[in-house]
């Protein structure tokens, strides 16, 4: 992870920054899975309550060049500003994991409990109320599954900054629970 590339979404009156980020990330994910699975990581350097308007790609120069040689930004060129592939700055704050957090909704937990025969529908409603399982407050991406067409949320956690780097695997989302990216 010695190089990086920033892609900034540029919203207009018709489409918001989060909607553009969702589209950008969906295209990134599909291309990653086909071309360079596990070789590029992501972060969102301006995240807060939302993920912000910049998708930062981290990787070796050759992996980033391979990714950017693909036509995955087609249809988004008017809404994005793609930076240059640059070396990671010498002075960084540290390293951090950027990972996906998954949490089953109460509705899914009830449906599974009934389907497995563990509870009746009435018992499931009583034992797994919506109020007992609060929503995650992490920023998220909203993507549509190509296979099932279901809309799903990908909650993103930027871990604590550490002075130690850690190797590991990155998913086709460019996320990892173990591997770190340089934070600057």
User: Angle at Cα 143 formed by Cα 140 and Cα 145, nearest 5°?
Assistant: 140
Q: What is the pLDDT of residues 41-59, one digit of tens each?
A: 999 999 999 999 999 999 9
The pTM score is 0.85
Beta bridge partners of 81: 8
| CATH number of the structural domain spanning residue 62 | 3.30.70.2540
- Judge whether 43 lies within some domain: yes
Q: How much is the CA Rg of the chain, to the nearest whole Å?
A: 19
Domain containing residue 25: 3-100+137-183
- Buried b / exposed e across 39-76, counting CB within 10 Å, b at 16+? bbbbbbeebeeebbbbbbbbbeeebbebbbebebbeeb
The whole-angstrom distance between residue 171's C-alpha and the CA centroid of its chain comes to 10
Report the domain count for the chain. Answer: 1
Q: What is the pLDDT of residue 99?
A: 97
- Judge whether 109 lies within some domain: no
Q: What is the pLDDT of residues 59-95, one digit of tens each?
A: 999 999 999 999 999 999 999 999 999 999 999 999 9
What pLDDT tens digit does each residue of the chain (184 aa) get? 899 999 999 998 889 999 999 999 999 999 999 998 899 999 999 999 999 999 999 999 999 999 999 999 999 999 999 999 999 999 999 999 999 998 777 788 888 889 999 999 999 888 888 776 667 789 999 998 877 888 889 999 999 999 999 999 999 999 999 999 999 9
């Amino acid at each position: 992870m010695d190089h990086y590339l920033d892609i900034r979404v540029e919203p207009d009156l018709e489409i918001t920054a989060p909607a553009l980020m969702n589209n950008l990330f969906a295209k990134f994910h599909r291309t990653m899975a086909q071309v360079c699975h596990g070789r590029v990581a992501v972060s969102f350097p301006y995240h807060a309550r939302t993920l912000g308007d910049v998708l930062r790609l981290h990787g070796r120069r050759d992996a980033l060049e391979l990714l950017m040689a693909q036509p995955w930004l087609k249809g988004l060129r008017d809404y994005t500003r793609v930076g240059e592939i640059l070396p990671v700055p010498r002075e960084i704050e540290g390293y951090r994991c950027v990972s996906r957090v998954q949490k089953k909704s109460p509705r899914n937990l009830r449906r599974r409990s009934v389907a497995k025969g563990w509870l009746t529908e009435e018992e499931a409603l009583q034992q797994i109320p919506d109020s007992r399982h609060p929503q995650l407050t992490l920023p998220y991406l909203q993507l549509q599954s190509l296979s099932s067409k279901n809309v799903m949320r990908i909650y993103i956690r930027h871990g604590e900054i550490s002075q130690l780097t850690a190797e590991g695997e990155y998913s086709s989302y460019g996320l990892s629970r173990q591997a770190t990216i340089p934070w600057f």
